[in-house]
Structure 1
Amino acid sequence: MDPMSLVMFGLIAVLIFFMFRNSKKRQAQMAEMQSNMQPGAEVMLQSGIFATIIAIDEEENRVTVSSGNSTLVVHRNAIGQVVTPVDAPVEESEAATLAPDDDPEFGERFTAPNDAQSITDAATDFDGTPAAEKSEDKNSDKE
């Protein structure tokens, strides 16, 4: 056998390996989604409609969902993804999960509270004159 045919058989073997691997991943994702499909779960249909599952008919492969004031009966495969499973933890308020906003504003220097030198450096402009004197000069020019 020449080396070129060995490379070709090797590439075909790698291709087949990845095809089986991807199909197993897809099957695992579908099984997880099917297990999360329970009454009360929020789902998104293939058409993009968000709804809540009311009932599931295993024999007919139908799912009854409610979206707003409407109730729809769709095929089980029409559900694209489970947005919020039934046993998902309730989200905390946004304020409780965010850190306090202690970041400096744009252009503001961050100074340590015990560092007096950095505080005086922050109060001076680029040419070395204190910022307070510049504001006094601007006020005197207006008069």
Structure 2
Amino acid sequence: MTILLFVMLGVFVFMMFRRNKKTQQQQADLQSKFGPGVEVMTSFGLFGRIVDIDEAENKVVLELSPGNTATVHRQAVTKIVEPVVAAEEPTVVPDDASSLTLGKSDAVDTAGEGTAVAGDASRNETPDETLRRLNDDGKKDS
């Protein structure tokens, strides 16, 4: 029974050292990629671009925005931020607002008068009729 306990303790210690070694290796790989111009994130959520690295003092100067810099400890920089590449989709801009109401059913106003708010009748009206209708709607509200 004691042999099994010592074996389990040995496995636990081995796994603990293995995990620490793996974490140190990942940190070393990350810090080897550091250089001026690299976009990074700190452990406390500060984003910036590396301007300068002081190896002797383990400090990194980050440019947070143009003209604003911050000096942080080298180990505080925990992540390299990869730029997001957005898929370019052509933006279709309608010529007029009538295409925004296409395919929508006619709605009845809440006053119960039964007039169509967005429907086929409003698409076929002249600009003068539209202005008159909009001005009349403003008078109904007040």
Which of the five TM-score ranges fits, normalised by the shorter chain?
A: 0.5 to 0.7
**TM-score, normalization by structure 2:** 0.56
Q: How many residues align?
A: 88
- Tell me how far 1:91 sits from its aligned partner: 6.0
Q: Distance in 1 between matches of 2:85 and 2:80?
A: 20
Q: Distance in 2 between matches of 1:92 and 1:36?
A: 20
Q: Does 1:11 align with 2:8?
A: yes
Q: Does 1:59 align with 2:52?
A: no
- Work out which structure has the larger RCO, using CA pairs closer than 8 Å and 6 or more positions apart in sequence: 1
Equivalent residue for 1:68, pick from 58, 62, 65: 65
Report the secondary structure of 1:67's partner residue: strand
Deviations 1:48-94 (A, max 9, x none): 0110001111112111111123111222122122223xxxxx76542
Residue ranges of structure 1 left out of the alignment (5+ in a row)? 85-89, 97-143
- Aligned twin of 1:83: 81
- Tell me how far 1:95 sits from its aligned partner: 4.4
Q: Does 1:94 align with 2:91?
A: no
Residue ranges of structure 2 left out of the alignment (5+ in a row)? 90-142
Q: Distance in 1 between matches of 2:15 and 2:29?
A: 21
User: Which residues of 2 match residues 1-143 of structure 1 at below 5 A?
Assistant: 4-69=1-66, 70-84=68-82, 92-95=85-88
- Tell me how far 1:39 sits from its aligned partner: 0.8
Identity, % of aligned positions:
39
Q: Distance in 1 between matches of 2:57 and 2:2?
A: 51
Alpha-carbon spacing, 1:92–1:75, altered in 2? closer, same or farther (3 Å): closer
The one-letter code sitting in structure 1 at the alignment partner of 2:63 is S
Report the secondary structure of 1:80's partner residue: strand
